[in-house]
Structure 1
Amino acid sequence: MDWFKLSLQLNKFPIKRAQSTLEKIQNIPEEHYAEFQRKRRNAIIDYHIQHNNFYREFFNWEGFDDWKHVPIMKKADLQHPLKERLSSTYNTKTAYIGKTSGSSGHPFIFAKNRFAHALSWAGFQDRYSWYDIDLNKSLQARFYGIPLDFYGNIQERLKDRISLRRRFNIFDLSEQKMEIFLERFKKSDFNYLNGYTSAIVLFARFLKDKGIVLKELCPSLNICIVTSERLFEKDKQLIEAALGVPVINEYGASEVGLIAFEDAENHWIVNSEDLYIEILDENDNILPYGEEGRVVITSLYNKAHPMIRYDIGDIGSLSKKSTLKKPILEKLIGRTNDIARLPDGKVVPGLTFYYVTKTIIEDNGNIKEFVIIQTEIDEFQIEYVSEHELTSDQKSKILDAVGIYVGENLKIGFERKDILKRSQSGKLKQFTSQLQ
């Protein structure tokens, strides 16, 4: 039985119509694609101007003659009660209601009409089929967090059961817990892993330390899909070696669905079927392919809630090889709020610290996980989980590298911990600035 399709249908998500629509969009020739996107953009704006008071006021509608004049929406703009943002044609019972993780610091509740939500799932199903993953039949090992309240926990586990997902709770990633994870893989015919990058990296390190290749214990395993957190090349190599299967990058967000998915040639193919992706500079100008800027997304079919020129909070660039029908995400640098401001006025991506520290710590081999926190304009704290304390020599090497690649005269503290703090969803934020 097609359990996944059945679960969507039972919840009144028209998955058959969504799959048919997706197929029709994919059959549009490249030369007609610009016209398709233009009509969809205009249609979704017209809909919300007619049926959504919030968006009409936000736009300050006087008509428009150019897409670039459509205002940019930020997450902070959407932190109003949902009932104020819903289109008049929908309510909380007729629309799908979801909540963002809040990893950007701006969590909010959003809505999608049921067709738009079904179309998102049709897109996921299409991409997964590139790797012979069938959401109706393939068993998933799911490395995610889970609600800890009774009803939320039961609801999520029921959804997992129907959707052929078996959850590995990442709030406890002790070695004892990962031994239990390992036993589950020995006893189950998992077809793929899906989950947060940091949790799967930690599991891969556990396997490496044990001298285990997971596919040898679970031969049905074919692929690993990582999402929600940055995947570094060395981590990808580690996961592939420890799991014995390819690692695929997925980029998505709950409020808009699938944004990009890695193909067999290691290209991040952007979802151009139900989303319109732009890269903008700090003045909201549209940047050409190849230049880095803010990732801005329009949901072309969400009639319940406007997601029009929505600044998702990420920095990235599209490849020069991109076309309108097949955009390719060349880089995903990180979140716009993940920056470090230094005493000399210099602003650097927080991941600069992570790159520097990661390279040196990996040489040590004993560090399991670490995060970096900016506590003052010139002070940073490195919190790490390891079997042994970093030596003075290792700390000195990190300080030297920070001086070369980031800035001089910075105070770096080190704190060894038993476990690192994760968000409520289970994500591990690799760099955090506590400065306002």
Structure 2
Amino acid sequence: MLPIFDLSLQFNGYPIKEAKAELQKIVALTSSEKEHFIENKKKEIVEFHLKNNPFYQELVGTKSYTNWNDLPVLNKQNLQQPLSQRLSKGYTLKNVYVGKTSGSSGNPFIFARDKFTHALFWASSAYRFGWYDINLNSSYQARFYGVPLDFMGYQKEKLKDLLGNRLRFPIFNLSDDVLEKMLEKFKHKKFDYINGYTSSIVLFAKFLKQKNIVLKDLCPSLKACVVTSEMLFEGDKILLETQLGIPIINEYGASELDLIAFQNTQDEWQVNAETLFVEILDDNDVVLPYGQEGRIVVTSLFNKAHPFIRYDIGDIGILDEKSTLQKPILKKLIGRTNDVAILPSGKKSPGLTFYYITKSIIEDDGNVKEFTIKQIKMDTFEIEYVSETILSAAQIQKIEQAIALYLEPNLKFSYSQKEVLKRNKRGKLKQFTSMV
């Protein structure tokens, strides 16, 4: 098969061949060479932007620096100004890749990558997918993603699907009838892998469980499933492994950067140390040692068109104690910094704690398919859920007892059964939202 995906990148001015060669050189470095490479690239990218990027010069407040840890932490609010004002000298909207973040953090913005960095983005993806014998040029993908509903946006995504050798499943309506049609596709098409939003694939797996079907039995060509964009809980991972019958790969990335972490074949969440440098910082921007929880701050080592240097992505996580500069391991991704519930006692708790506790109780019998939690006031929460039957008084009591035990008592909850849950324009399901 022709490498159509690579050829389409090359045709559009993204030097994928050169990027793949560069990535292979980095991957082949010894530990000491890799450490030297990372330190050099950090220095090189800062010096480039201090010399060529007025936006970054203003942020730093000087055209030179002596200590990496003295550099400011860039946040999404800093980036909410016209892209043309953030580009480096020599780069225009016509000679860069331009993208837009999903806005799941509450702060969407337009970003840019120079053409070599964009090619590296795809080389990095191809390398990691290759760990599971998935080839982005030839492997056939079952894609559980949203799609723009406007005519031009829709046609553009369909063309990308054609070039990317993938079949896109609609995820805005995941009724049993729609899931049945999806299942029929797997019976008749030789998919190599599944890729998409965690919540949608989990819902499909629950449907398979109801029907007592293991997907690999119906579609023997399947090799792996890559879940992305939403939290993957351990119970859901077990469900997916059981009902899909293939390895479940947890991906963590950001559209403005690259794949940040990708589960390797040793079941480690390996951080990308080829094109990125990842730090964990506390609330005072101090670097934390491995094993401690803090803000995930990422530097793009190659992007000259736009600075992403010590960029606070808006997530909280922990790097494993066994991490090294050459091979960092993401031990845990806890959630977004803006998904924190502030409770009446003054206690702060990641919103996903509510979700996790509630999930472990109400999914026992398989009745509840999906749910979301919204904090309306400091002491008031609203749970919306999709289920066959309404939650029982006993289930509600168990939920509230668990939350009182693990968090604090006297919190108020309302429960609302829905036919479908609201997703964002791209089809993502926001599992916890605070309105406080």
TM superposition score category, shorter chain reference: over 0.9
The CA distance in 1 between the partners of 2:364 and 2:120, in whole Å, is 45
Indicate yes or no: 2:9 matched with 1:8: yes
Cα drift, residue 291 of structure 1: 0.9
Counterpart for residue 146 of structure 1: 147
Q: Structure 2 CA distance, aligned partners of 1:57 and 1:87?
A: 13
1:370 aligns with: 371
Contact 1:52–1:86 at 8 Å: present in 2 too? yes
Q: Which aligned pairs between 1:177-326 and structure 2 lie closer than 5 A?
A: 177-326=178-327
- Aligned counterpart, 1:114: 115
Q: Relative to 1, partners in 2 of residues 1:270 and 1:396: Cα closer, same or farther, differing over 3 Å?
A: same
2:408 aligned residue = 407
Task: Find the counterpart in structure 1 of residue 423 from structure 2.
Answer: 422
Distance 1:126 1:387 in 2: 42
- Return the alpha-carbon distance in structure 2 between the equivalents of residues 34 and 61 of structure 1: 27
Whole-angstrom CA distance in 1 between matches of 2:53 and 2:159: 34
Deviation at 1:128, TM superposition (A): 0.7
The structural deviation recorded for 1:49 is: 1.4
- Contact residue 172 and residue 427 of structure 2 kept, 8 A: yes
By how many angstroms is 1:250 displaced?
A: 0.6
Of the structure 1 ranges 95-104 and 83-92, higher mean CA displacement relative to structure 2 is found in 83-92
3-state DSSP of counterpart to 1:372: strand
Contact 2:225–2:246 at 8 Å: present in 1 too?
yes
Aligned-residue offset at 1:339: 0.8
Aligned to 1:28: 29
Q: CA deviation at 1:225?
A: 0.5
Give per-residue Cα distances to partners, 1:219-242, cap 9 Å, x unaligned.
Answer: 111110000110001101111111
**TM superposition shift of 1:62:** 4.8
Q: 1:375 corresponds to which letter in structure 2?
A: I
- SS of 2:149's equivalent? coil
Tell me the distance in 1 between the aligned counterparts of 2:346 and 2:280.
26
What amino acid is aligned across from residue 217 of structure 1 in structure 2? Answer: L
- How many Å separate the matches in 1 of 2:36 and 2:50? 21
Q: Tell whether the 8 Å contact from 2:383 to 2:414 is kept in structure 1 after alignment.
A: yes
Unaligned runs of 5+ in 1: none
> Residue 348 of structure 2 corresponds to which residue in structure 1?
347
**Structure 2: how far apart are the matches of 1:342 and 1:289?**
29
- For 2:80, the equivalent position in structure 1 comes to 79
Return the alpha-carbon distance in structure 2 between the equivalents of residues 116 and 67 of structure 1. Answer: 22
Matched-pair contact (CA < 8 Å) for 2:380–2:411: yes
**In 2: Cα distance, 1:19 partner to 1:323 partner:** 24
Q: Quick one: distance in 2 between partners of 1:377 and 1:57?
A: 38
**Structure 2 residues not aligned, in runs of 5+:** none
The residue matched to 2:376 in structure 1 has which SS? strand
Q: Percent identity?
A: 57
How far off its partner does 1:363 sit? 1.2
Q: Which amino acid aligns with 2:32?
A: E
Letter in 2 for 1:2: P
Aligned AA for 1:256?
A: L
Deviation string 1:232-275 (CA, Å, 9 cap, x unpaired) is: 01101111111111101011010001101101111011100110
Tell me by how many angstroms 1:59 deviates: 1.0
Aligned equivalents of 1:423, 1:393: Cα separation in 2: 32
Q: Distance in 2 between matches of 1:35 and 1:247?
A: 34
Q: What is the CA distance between 1:33 and its match in structure 2?
A: 2.3
* Residues in 2 aligned to 1:401 and 1:328: alpha-carbon distance in whole angstroms: 31
Match of 1:330, SS?
strand
Decide whether the 8 Å contact of 2:57 with 2:63 is kept in 1.
no
Q: Shift in Å at residue 351 of structure 1?
A: 1.0
Residue 32 (structure 1) shift: 2.4
Deviations 1:392-420 (A, max 9, x none): 11111111111111111110110000110
CA contact (8 A) 1:144 1:169 kept: yes
Instruction: Determine whether 1:100 maps to 2:82.
Output: no
Measure the CA separation in 2 of the matches of 1:303 and 1:89. Answer: 10
CA distance in 1, matches of 2:339, 2:19: 36
| Deviations 1:322-364 (CA, angstroms, capped at 9, x unpaired) | 1111111111111111111111111111111111101111113
| d(CA) in 1 for partners of 2:191, 2:39 | 42
Task: Describe the SS at the equivalent of 1:77.
Answer: coil
C-alpha deviations, 1:171-194, integer Å up to 9, x for none?
A: 111111111111111111000000
Match of 1:363, SS state, is: coil
Q: Which amino acid in 2 is paired with 1:132?
A: D
- Indicate yes or no: 2:201 matched with 1:162: no
Q: Secondary structure in 1 aligned to 2:77?
A: helix
SS, match of residue 158 in structure 1: helix
- Cα distance in 1 for residues equivalent to 2:360 and 2:325: 37
How far does the alpha carbon of each residue in 1:70-114 deviate from its partner, in whole angstroms, 9 at most, with x for none?
Answer: 100001110001111111211111000000000000000000001
Q: What is the DSSP-based 3-state SS (H/G/I as helix, E as strand, rest coil) of the residue aligned with 1:97?
A: strand
Q: Matches of 1:166 and 1:304 in 2, distance apart?
A: 33
- Quote the offset at 1:378 in angstroms: 0.5
CA RMSD of aligned residues (A): 0.8
- Paired amino acid for 1:319: D
Aligned to 1:361: 362
CA contact (8 A) 1:7 1:163 kept: no
**Amino acid across the alignment from 2:65:** F
Separation in structure 2 between the aligned mates of residue 101 and residue 233 of structure 1, nearest angstrom = 25
Match of 2:386 in 1: 385
| Counterpart AA for 2:105 | S
CA distance in 1, matches of 2:367, 2:220: 29
Query: What TM-score do you get using the length of structure 2 for normalisation?
Result: 0.99
User: Which of structure 1's runs of 4+ aligned residues deviate more than 3 A?
Assistant: none
Q: Which residue of 1 aligns with 2:53?
A: 52
CA distance in 2, matches of 1:416, 1:123: 42
Measure the CA separation in 2 of the matches of 1:63 and 1:136.
43
Q: Name 1:175's counterpart in structure 2.
A: 176
Aligned partners of 1:224 and 1:217: how far apart in 2? 15
